[in-house]
Structure 1
Amino acid sequence: MSTVTHVPERPALGPVLRIAAAVLPVAATAIVGSVSTQGEIPGWYAGLNKPAFNPPNWIFPVAWTILYTMIAYAAWRLLGAMPRTGPSRQGWWLAILAFAVQLALNAAWSPVFFTAHAVGPALVVVVALLVMVLWTIRLSWRFDRPAAWLLVPYAAWVAFATLLNAAILRLN
């Protein structure tokens, strides 16, 4: 009589690689946003007509610091939720791809809006970003609900940013 011993599978990514895969792209996105924005706030951005609901400038780095932390944690959770086998693995890869695309759109918005001063094209980017964040939430829900919930405040902020971008375009 033979005994079968179950050997647990190793995680797809080791702990250091999983943290790096979650944090480094988000940190790079934050750096691109910061570098693209900082020099433009006192000059070009200050000279724009803005709607009455435009928050004070200090709100943006505070909000983004919190949001980027939540985004990185969501990525870390989602990376740990990879199914080992089966058809759901393809769905997980699609969620990861959507996550990457929304992060790339996030990184693109600040250079388009602040560096290029292209308010109209920036509106196109932020609308695409909002769609991708919402799609990422939907796709992630199946694999890790806390990861999906962590992205909800991000979606709300991007929706607000979309409204703000549209108002600035209209006023200028």
Structure 2
Amino acid sequence: MIISVKEIKKFLICVAIPLLTGFLSSMIAVLLSQTSFQIQYAQLIKPDFAPSAGLFSIIWPILYILMGISAYIIRSSNKSTQKINDAIFLYYLQLALNFLWSILFFGLGLRFVAFVESVILALVLVIMIYRFYKIDKTAAILNIPYIIWMVFVIFLSYFIWVLNK
């Protein structure tokens, strides 16, 4: 099986979009707060189950790569254009919400708003995974680690907000 240069470019773009989105969100949050994530995170009162700051810089790129691969699979599907467009709309909606979270939580210090936003993000993500599943099961399965992580983020955001009010 020979893969065309066009397909390779499409794949790389699909993977680069979430990675760049996460990077830009981080940069904007740091610019707004004038403080790095590591310093801010260290200064917060956190629940006992809170991971170290370094774990986030490992987990998020992995999740972004999985997101990008799943988007590529959906975009490459031979299902109806409407189904694909609906699924990709949800993909970009969750990506936009993901982009906002770091800005809200770290950049603006709006912990409660970030918590509420993470709940909305998880709901959109569940719907997106369902739509992906209707098109391609593998694309949906690639997002399971992401939804598991988001459930954890919801709990972590809530407890950080409560402990730091």
Output the TM-score relative to the length of structure 2.
Answer: 0.86
Matches of residues 14-29 of structure 1 in structure 2 within 5 Å?
14-16=6-8, 18-29=10-21
Q: Does 1:76 align with 2:77?
A: no
Q: Does 1:56 align with 2:52?
A: yes
Compared with structure 1, are the counterparts of its residues 116 and 149 closer, same or farther at alpha carbon in structure 2 (3 Å cutoff)? Answer: same
Mapped to 1, the partners of 2:37 and 2:19 lie a distance apart of 21
Q: Which runs of 5+ in 1 are unaligned?
A: 1-13
**Shift, 1:39, TM fit:** 3.4
Residue from 25, 37, 40 that aligns with 1:41: 37
| SS in structure 2 at match of 1:98 | helix
Mapped to 2, the partners of 1:82 and 1:32 lie a distance apart of 32
Residue from 26, 31, 53 that aligns with 2:23: 31
Query: Which residue pairs with 2:129 in the alignment?
Result: 137
Question: Aligned pair count?
Answer: 156
Query: Which residue pairs with 2:158 in the alignment?
Result: 166
Compared with structure 1, are the counterparts of its residues 31 and 138 closer, same or farther at alpha carbon in structure 2 (3 Å cutoff)? Answer: same
| SS in structure 2 at match of 1:46 | helix
Compared with structure 1, are the counterparts of its residues 82 and 99 closer, same or farther at alpha carbon in structure 2 (3 Å cutoff)? Answer: farther
Q: Does 1:123 align with 2:115?
A: yes
Q: Which runs of 5+ in 2 are unaligned?
A: 1-5
Matches of residues 4-19 of structure 1 in structure 2 within 5 Å?
14-16=6-8, 18-19=10-11
Instruction: Give the RMSD, CA atoms, in angstroms.
Output: 2.0
Letter in 1 for 2:19: A
Matches of residues 89-100 of structure 1 in structure 2 within 5 Å?
89-100=81-92
- Between stretches 90-99 and 143-152, larger displacement belongs to 90-99
Contact between 1:32 and 1:110, CA under 8 Å: does it hold in 2?
no
**Shift, 1:134, TM fit:** 0.8
Contact between 1:109 and 1:122, CA under 8 Å: does it hold in 2?
yes
Tell me the alpha carbon deviations over residues 62-120 of structure 1, each in whole angstroms, 9 at most, x when there is no partner.
1112111111111111110142xxxx432221111000100110111001100101101
| SS in structure 2 at match of 1:53 | coil
Contact between 2:41 and 2:53, CA under 8 Å: does it hold in 1?
no
Query: Which residue pairs with 2:149 in the alignment?
Result: 157
Mapped to 2, the partners of 1:139 and 1:111 lie a distance apart of 28
Question: Normalized per residue, which structure has more helix?
Answer: 2
Output the TM-score relative to the length of structure 1.
Answer: 0.83
